[in-house]
Amino acid sequence: MRLFEKADIWRLASLESSERGVTMSRVRCVWHTTLLLGLFTGLDVPVTNALSAQMLSVSEATIEDINAAFDSGYLTSEGLVQLYLARIQAYDQEGPRLNAVLWLNDQALETARALDAERRVSGPRSPLHGIPVALKDNIDTDDMPTTAGSLLLAGSLPPDDAFIVQKLREAGAIILAKLNMSELASGVTMSSVGGFIRNPHDTERSPAGSSGGTGAAIAAAFAQLGIGTDTGGSVRGPTTANGIAGLKPTHGLLSRDGIVPLALSFDMAGPMARHVYDVAAMLGVMTGIDPDDVATSKSADRFETNYTQFLDVSALGNARIGVARDFLGQDTEVDWILEASLEAMRAEGATVVDVYFPQWLLDAKGDWYTTIRWREFRAQIPEYLATIGPEYPKTLSEMVERSMEIASLTPEGGTPNPTRWSLLIQEEQSGALDDHEYIAMKNYGLPMAQSIVAGLMDAQELDAIVYPTSPTRPSLVNGGGGGGVSATNIANLTGFPDLIVPGGFTSDRLPVGISFLGRPFSEPRLFGLGYAFEQATKVRRDPKLTPPLLGEEIRR
């Protein structure tokens, strides 16, 4: 266990301006029909030869590639962990200093050696055997702190692993690190424990939140797999901002046990990776009925333990795709990338039709979300706080009091995270779960949203609704740019799944993701569609600021 040294956690971290060391070619549209099918990337098309095709950088390799390297004896789990630790040293602690990692598991190498020995004797437990995974710091681990990025929980060591972490360990995965995040899973992309997180594609840009550390870490290849959490877009925002793949699962597909709550009506952990294959492989390991989370009962007879079986390069051939036009018109280049993505889908055989959400739902969805989110955090955080030591606050009111005590000890009464800590006060004053407004939203508003979205899909026999995951490019760390009206919280209000796949890059080399929104428990179909789109376009690129290190190639 190791906390990276932070310079003065009592003040807000300032970003150093530095030379990026990247020569950016003049932007252009790549309209190469046979390769990118009109997809706008603004990036050079890579050229490979027979020799380079036999080798992959660690960032290019899927779990399938890594297991092949394990089987051939070319790579060990211990060696893979060492590769990732070297990248963390080079790019998180040094170089661009992404500030994505809070804690390293000091038992990771020992665990890797034990798993290598087990593989030699009895074979792998699962495709995740010996694979390093990094977790958002609001997911409980019994061997590393869980602080949700907050000084209010500094040093908290949970009594046991979260349910999904137990499942990962049972499958042979190695929990390598805990990652920085928006404090308590809300607010700006910084925490009072770790400070600001930087986007590996451009350190002046935000990696988005609240799973910003996971998004940045996976894009920069600090681990093979990552897990974030999503209450209002917190897996999907960082997924698109960092140019990776990710999933907000159907509500109830994964257990919420051992995760610091924000609003249990919406909270859901989600897998994040550089490849759709890896997202699918990780999801299947984590599913299952948890007696400590009643919501997982909804997934009985509906969850799978192997989602990679649904990956199909021809899945778009018979698909009907709806495009949510309501969320365009906010960034011209994002719109271009979506239109090019739709052309790619058509070229693969999909039928694409326009869909529009009722204007009143678009106008109301933000208020509906806040009405539930704030009240549930106030009511539900005490149950989690009761599981940790007596030295920590036990209610939201006590958290507010403690934050004021900390502020009183700082110069001029400043707070380490003023945006998030002021939000604590608003949440405390928001009301209770027996408020008429909350009851109306919970009992009538959410079912209405579910009916509307399902009705839109049924009316046109859609397999998925697609839209740009973020309608604008990532915001600046100082808050400039970004924003816009996003569709992401529709998936939270309904509980429907949303798969994000890289779609391209803007002229300033910022990634844009494409969302595939589906019906409840339609993850198998979404994986087929997303994988087909990914394989047809192949637009994901490694961040220029975190290139491969010498000697980290993996033989294909």
> Phi/psi at 161 (nearest 5 deg)?
-75, 150
According to DSSP, residue 188 is labeled S
How far apart are the C-alpha atoms of 400 and 412, rounded to whole Å?
18
Task: Considering the candidates 210, 255, 486, 522, report the single residue annotated as catalytic.
Answer: 210
* H-helix or E-strand spanning residue 119: helix 108-122
How far apart are the C-alpha atoms of 21 and 6, rounded to whole Å?
25
How far apart are the C-alpha atoms of 58 and 75, rounded to whole Å?
11
**SS3 letters for 251-281?**
CCCCCCCCECCCCCCCCEEEEEECCHHHHHH
Is 442 a catalytic site residue? Answer: no
Alpha helices in 348-476 (DSSP H): 359-385, 396-408, 418-428, 436-440, 446-459
Reply yes or no: is the peptide bond before residue 422 cis, omega within 30 of 0: no
Give the CA angle between residues 531, 534, 537 to the nearest 5°: 145
Computed over its alpha carbons, how large is the radius of gyration of the chain? 22
Contact 141, 178 (CB under 8 A): yes
Task: Considering the candidates 191, 192, 211, 234, report the single residue annotated as catalytic.
Answer: 234
CA neighbours closer than 13 Å in the CB half-sphere of residue 98: 34
- Which 3 state secondary structure label does DSSP give 476? strand
Is 234 a catalytic site residue? Answer: yes
How far apart are the C-alpha atoms of 189 and 479, rounded to whole Å?
10
57: burial class by Cβ within 10 Å (0-12, 13-18, 19+)? middle
How far apart are the C-alpha atoms of 140 and 157, rounded to whole Å?
8
How far apart are the C-alpha atoms of 550 and 556, rounded to whole Å?
17
According to DSSP, residue 445 is labeled I
CA dihedral 84→22→334→279, nearest 10 degrees, is -10
- Which 3 state secondary structure label does DSSP give 23? coil
- Angle, helices 418-428 vs 359-385, to 10°: value is 90
* H-helix or E-strand spanning residue 153: none
How far apart are the C-alpha atoms of 262 and 374, rounded to whole Å?
8
- Which 3 state secondary structure label does DSSP give 191? strand
Is 6 a catalytic site residue? Answer: no
Q: Whose structure tokens read 């249990």?
A: 264
Contact 530, 277 (CB under 8 A): no
Give the CA angle between residues 168, 271, 521 to the nearest 5°: 100
* Type of residue at 357: F
| Structure token pair of residue 455 | 């009705």
* Alpha carbon distances (Å) from 113 to 82, 129, 137: 11, 12, 25
Task: Considering the candidates 136, 178, 248, 365, report the single residue annotated as catalytic.
Answer: 136
Q: Which residues are catalytic?
A: 136, 210, 234
